[in-house]
Structure 1
């Protein structure tokens, strides 16, 4: 997509420059009593396009794909539907040596398919499951402390199934403006119905999100 954006910008730039070259002849053409198109033909359309293309290439060679995309920055109590853009490998590094190890690619996928920040999903799982080592996580693959509505907790065939269920639940019911538990798009907003507005819950999730984000930044700087 980024390459398409650059190519499109180049074409637009080339078109604008070609137009500018053609209109530069307009005053002289009018004074001589001939049309601008005749003057343009005299200059040569191919030469004009070649010049425009060379200029646009010179302009764009100073840009990279990164300059066209605003990188994600962690914002305390920010919009949880803003994607982190972290790779599966980066997310997996956050889960190493924990009970959540091996789920990095799953979290990366759910971020893209469900439109929910992967760092948020991971931080909730780390808090609710004791980094994947709680009895509920180990015996029931329940990483989010998700209740079944009968004073008990849900069981999942795999941890991946739990991640998918929780991502869907949070995105559709808590973060969608039409969701039945929607209060807003921050951790504090989600907490209102997810855990009775517990300040301890949303501040701990925020702390984990910040820590995870800083670890990702450190890994990127070191690479």
Structure 2
């Protein structure tokens, strides 16, 4: 991380140095020409700086995700669609890995949380509600019944939006905090068994991906 930052600074500083030399090397230029060259140099320097910022993004410099019990659910994993799909294989949720990866990025919600809630609420996609109504989250319709969705993907989209806007947004009507325990206060009446089971699944899913990464690293070596 430090090397990347140093390299970025070197690129910016080098750009400014070259521009400074270019301006001072023309002592016979008129005042108007000097002003124009200075403005041009400043514009180019700003362009170089922006290019460096875009190259060395926070994502490139950030540390790998580490699961933390009852952690902030808006901290994303950055896991690939293929990695998330390994958590769903041989279950009724199979094939949704890419969709969960996308919802994590577009909605800013931890993919392990989204998947773990679906695994718990839908019996790994095998409950009658999941099979007959594509309802993976135990989502109620407000009339003592449960919502139906055209596809499982539609349910994932709806649930991710619901959690983002109403549960994990500080201005949301169900916001109590950003942990699974906080979400449970309104999502399922504060059930301790619900959020502890969700956390257990998140921990297990995290461990599975870490183990897979270690195996892949060992094979590559």
TM range (shorter): 0.7 to 0.9
Measured after TM superposition, the shift of residue 96 of structure 1 is 0.3
| Largest Rg, 1 or 2 | 1
Match of 2:146 in 1: 153
Measured against aligned partners, the alpha-carbon deviations of 1:60-85 in whole angstroms (never above 9, x if no partner) come to xxxxx998221111010000000010
CA RMSD, aligned part only?
2.4
Where do 4+ consecutive residues of structure 1 move more than 4 Å? Answer: 4-7
How many residues in Structure 1 have an aligned counterpart in Structure 2?
A: 177
Cα deviation, residue 14, structure 1: 3.6
| Structure 2 unmatched runs, 5+ | 26-57, 217-221
1:108 and 2:113 equivalent?
no
Deviations 1:13-49 (A, max 9, x none): 5468x59xx9xxxxxxxxxxxxxx79xxxxxxxxxxx
1:197 aligns with 2:190: yes
1:217 counterpart = 2:217: no
SS at match of 2:86: helix
Q: Distance in 2 between matches of 1:152 and 1:5?
A: 54
- TM-score, normalised with respect to structure 1: 0.74
1:73-110 residue CA offsets vs partner (Å, 9 max, x unmatched): 10100000000100000000110000000000000000
Aligned to 2:11: 11
Aligned-pair distance for 1:7?
Answer: 6.6
Cα distance between partner residues in 2 of 1:7 and 1:143: 47
Match of 1:188 among 166, 181, 191: 181
Question: 1:216–1:13: structure 2 CA closer, same or farther, 3 Å change rule?
Answer: farther
Aligned pairs for 1:1-223 within 5 A: 8-12=8-12, 14=14, 68-223=61-216
- State the alpha-carbon separation in 2 of the partners of residues 7 and 217 from structure 1: 30
Cα distance in 2 between the residues matched to 1:140 and 1:181? 25
* CA–CA distance in structure 1, aligned partners of residues 183 and 64 of structure 2: 24
| In structure 2, distance between residues paired with 1:5 and 1:179 | 37
- What is the CA-CA distance between 1:10 and the residue it aligns to? 3.7
Shift of 1:12: 3.0
1:9 to partner: Cα distance: 3.6
Unaligned runs of 5+ in 1: 23-36, 39-64
Q: Distance in 2 between matches of 1:85 and 1:102?
A: 18
Deviations 1:160-184 (A, max 9, x none): 0000000000111000000000000
